[in-house]
Each structure stands twice: as C-alpha cells, then as structure tokens.
C-alpha cells in the first residue's frame, strides 16, 4: 500500500528511459519539497541506500547503479535534489533566498525524504559531485541516521574553521588569503573560476540558450569532463593560487571572456566519438537535455552561489573541528580533475576530515561522471561497502 505522502509518478520521457525495476515517485519531504524520487528494491526489511546526484545531473544518473544494489538486497532511493528535475517547491529564481540552498537545509531535505518512507536510519549514503557535499554534511551532522557514507569525485576537506587565538593574534593583523578571483583575472591571458561564473546572473541563460542548442551543450560538457577527453590527466596542485589553478582545464578555470557554452564548444566530440560513447548514448543524453530545457539550470546554480554567501560559512562554523566518524569511502575516476581542484582537500579527507576512511578508489577509464562511465565497477564497490556496513 502506498502511504498518503508518496505518489507513484505516471509518465514522461524521463521515466520511460529508466531500466526495468526502477520506478518513479513523488514524495512530500516535509521541508517544502515534492521530491521526485527513483526507487528500486523496495521492501520494509531491506537496508536502505540513498544516492545523491550532482551538477548538472539528476537522479537519472544512477540508473545503471540502482538495479545492482537492489539485486544485492538493498532498498535504493535516488531523488532529484532541491532545484533539479521534477522536484518542485524550491524557489529557483536568481533572486531567491539562498538560505534554502545552504548545505544544512539540503541535509534537512534528505532527512525529510527518508522519514517519508518510514526509514529511521540509512545504511549507506552516497553522493557524487555536489551531492558528495550534501552526503558529507549529512554524515557529519547526523551520524546516528547516516551510518556510513561514500563520497564520489568531490573530496571533503572538513568544516570551515573558527578564527582561533585571536586575543594574541588579532584578526586584523592575521595573514589574509589573496583574492583568488582578482588574481585569476590578472593572469595573462585572464581567467575566471567556474564557480564565480556560476554565481553570475547570466550563467543560466548562457547555458539554457546555448547557441549550439542545449543537447549539444550538454554533450560537449559531459565529454570534456570525462575520460574520453584526452586532456584529463590530473595531478596534485601545489597551492590555492592563481598560477596553480590556471593549470586546471578550462571547464574549471575558464577564459575570462567566455561563457561555459563557448568553453565546452571548443571540445565538442565528433559524430564518430558520439556514436562510440556507450556510457552516455544520445537517447540518455536527451533525458538531461529535455529536463534542463524545461527547468533551466538556476536551481542547481543557486547551490554554487551559497559558496559566496558569508552567512553560509558562518552557519557551517558551528561544526568547526568536527569530523566524519562513520565508516567512509571515496570513489572517483582516475581521469577526474575534481579530485584535486581544491588543493589539499583530498589529503585532508583521508588524514583528518574522515576518521574511518575505508578506501579511496580511483577508477581507470572514468573521468568526472564515474558512476556513468564505469557503472559496473562503481556498482561492485558500492555493493561491497554497503554490505560491509549493513
């Protein structure tokens, strides 16, 4: 019997493209959202695994992972997160109140979601890209609920620190971090950080109305950040400085005067390369294109804008010094620059931010979209980890 706050979703190209065994629901999460959820392996006695997507993706990005976890005996839940896809209730305007997109409210979204299912604890919470940020904060804030966590592609370096020992070292006299954005703009040629671009008023329209069309834009974007692009050979950067960050590909540190649509257009794959792309065939890409053409990107971009909101860091400093103490693991593509885009976070995650890190898996043949590019291997790793912690 379907509880009154869970509604089976009836159709659409999104749902039609799902593999057998995955169904679609709409769930009132008690935090202002009607969350669109993909579900597999439902059953009251099954341990629960929750999968959180990143940008610019959807719950659909877990379509090749969910059946394997369900076959292994798990109840698998993957939502379109706040501001994405078919989930409604968020204010996705540029001038929206950003408090709704701060990490702790995104944690509330996940807590409300599992509560709607009658679930009091989650065996394993998995997050990819910006979904890894939500997963990390969920495990840090509520270890009683999220009993283990897997972070994918985005290392967690720990909470922001409180100003320390300011009686002896006044803040005004402390060494300040250089304005990285001004420093990038001063390079020759001038550059800009993609997150600063994502925080601008024009970013959504630039991508939604890309001159090449939204389907071609997303094709180039996904290709550029995947192992299929031969330039993705990541390595550790020495510091958070403009000269070091400028070594990142232009999808992270862009040319100052180009949009993201123009940036990725330089790397549009050939027709032959597109036809050979087995991890993201055109019919799957069409699901993303149709959803983002309908909703735009601003809901997801508002997550990035929180990084430039001082109130967000102020809120998170409540957890200064806290670490993730539940069992954890990290999975990324060996060709993913996301591992190193914030110098030091990958190392801090393993040595201090997570106290019980089981393993870090860097998978050959995958870039940033690891759960799509190497779905079979990711499903094996997630299944083994979830079984270990069930």
pLDDT in tens, 265-299: 999 999 999 999 999 999 999 999 999 999 999 99
Residues 22 and 149 in one domain: yes
Q: How many domains does the chain have?
A: 2
Helix 282-295 × helix 214-224 angle, to 10°: 120
Domain that includes residue 284, residue range? 195-301
Residues 95 and 219 in one domain: no
Model pTM greater than 0.75? yes
What does the pLDDT profile of the chain (390 residues) look like in tens digits?
A: 233 343 434 446 788 889 999 999 999 999 999 999 999 998 778 999 999 999 999 999 999 999 999 999 999 999 999 999 999 999 999 999 999 999 999 999 999 999 999 999 999 999 999 999 999 999 999 999 999 999 999 999 999 999 888 888 766 444 444 589 999 999 999 999 999 999 999 999 999 999 999 999 999 999 999 999 999 999 999 999 999 999 999 999 999 999 999 999 999 999 999 999 999 999 999 999 999 999 999 999 999 999 999 999 999 999 999 999 999 999 999 999 999 999 999 999 999 999 999 999 999 999 999 999 999 999 999 999 999 999
Residues 319 and 347 in one domain: yes
What is the radius of gyration, based on Cα positions, of the chain? 20
Count of residues for the chain?
Answer: 390
Structure tokens at 292: 């983002």
Residues 296 and 316 in one domain: no
Q: Determine phi and psi for 171, rounding to 5 degrees.
A: -60, -35
Structure tokens at 20: 């057998």
Residues 280 and 336 in one domain: no
CA 170 to chain centre: 37
Give residues with Cβ within 8 angstroms of 37, minimum separation 6.
Answer: 24, 25, 26, 27, 59, 77, 78, 79, 80, 113
The pLDDT, as a whole number, for residue 68 is 97
pLDDT digits (tens, 9 = 90+) for 95-106: 999 999 999 999
Residues 295 and 313 in one domain: no
Residues 218 and 349 in one domain: no
């Amino acid at each position: 019997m379907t509880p009154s706050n869970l509604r089976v979703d009836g159709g659409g190209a999104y749902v039609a493209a799902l593999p057998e065994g995955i169904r679609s629901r709409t769930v009132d999460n008690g935090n202002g959202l009607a969350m669109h959820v993909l579900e597999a392996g439902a059953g009251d006695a099954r341990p629960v695994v929750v999968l959180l997507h990143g940008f610019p993706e959807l719950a659909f990005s877990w379509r090749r992972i969910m059946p394997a976890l369900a076959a292994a005996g798990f109840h698998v839940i993957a939502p379109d997160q706040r501001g994405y896809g078919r989930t409604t209730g968020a204010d996705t305007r540029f001038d929206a109140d950003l408090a709704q997109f701060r990490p702790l409210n995104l944690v509330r979204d996940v807590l409300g979601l599992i509560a709607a299912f009658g679930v009091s604890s989650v065996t394993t919470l998995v997050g990819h890209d910006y979904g890894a940020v939500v997963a990390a904060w969920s495990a840090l804030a509520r270890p009683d609920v999220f009993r283990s966590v897997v972070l994918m592609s985005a290392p967690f370096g720990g909470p922001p620190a409180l100003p320390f020992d300011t009686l002896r070292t006044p803040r005004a006299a402390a060494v300040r971090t250089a304005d990285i954005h001004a420093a990038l703009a001063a390079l020759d040629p001038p550059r800009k950080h993609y997150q600063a671009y994502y925080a601008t008023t024009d970013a959504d329209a630039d991508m939604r109305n890309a001159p090449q069309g939204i389907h071609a834009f997303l094709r180039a974007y996904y290709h550029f950040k995947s192992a299929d692009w031969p330039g993705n050979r990541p390595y550790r950067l020495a510091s958070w400085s403009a000269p070091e960050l400028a070594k990142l590909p232009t999808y992270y540190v862009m040319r100052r005067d180009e949009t993201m649509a123009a940036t990725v257009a330089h790397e549009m794959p050939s027709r032959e390369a597109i036809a050979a792309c087995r991890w993201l065939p055109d019919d799957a890409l069409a699901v993303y294109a149709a959803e983002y053409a309908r909703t735009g990107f601003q809901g997801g971009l508002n997550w990035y804008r929180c990084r430039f909101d001082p109130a967000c860091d102020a809120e998170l400093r409540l957890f200064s010094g806290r670490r993730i103490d539940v069992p954890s693991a990290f999975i990324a593509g060996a060709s993913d620059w996301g591992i190193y885009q914030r110098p030091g976070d990958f190392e801090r995650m393993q040595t201090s931010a997570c106290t019980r890190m089981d393993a870090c898996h860097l998978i050959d043949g995958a870039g940033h979209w690891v759960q799509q590019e190497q779905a079979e291997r990711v499903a094996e790793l997630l299944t083994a980890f979830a079984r270990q912690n069930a």
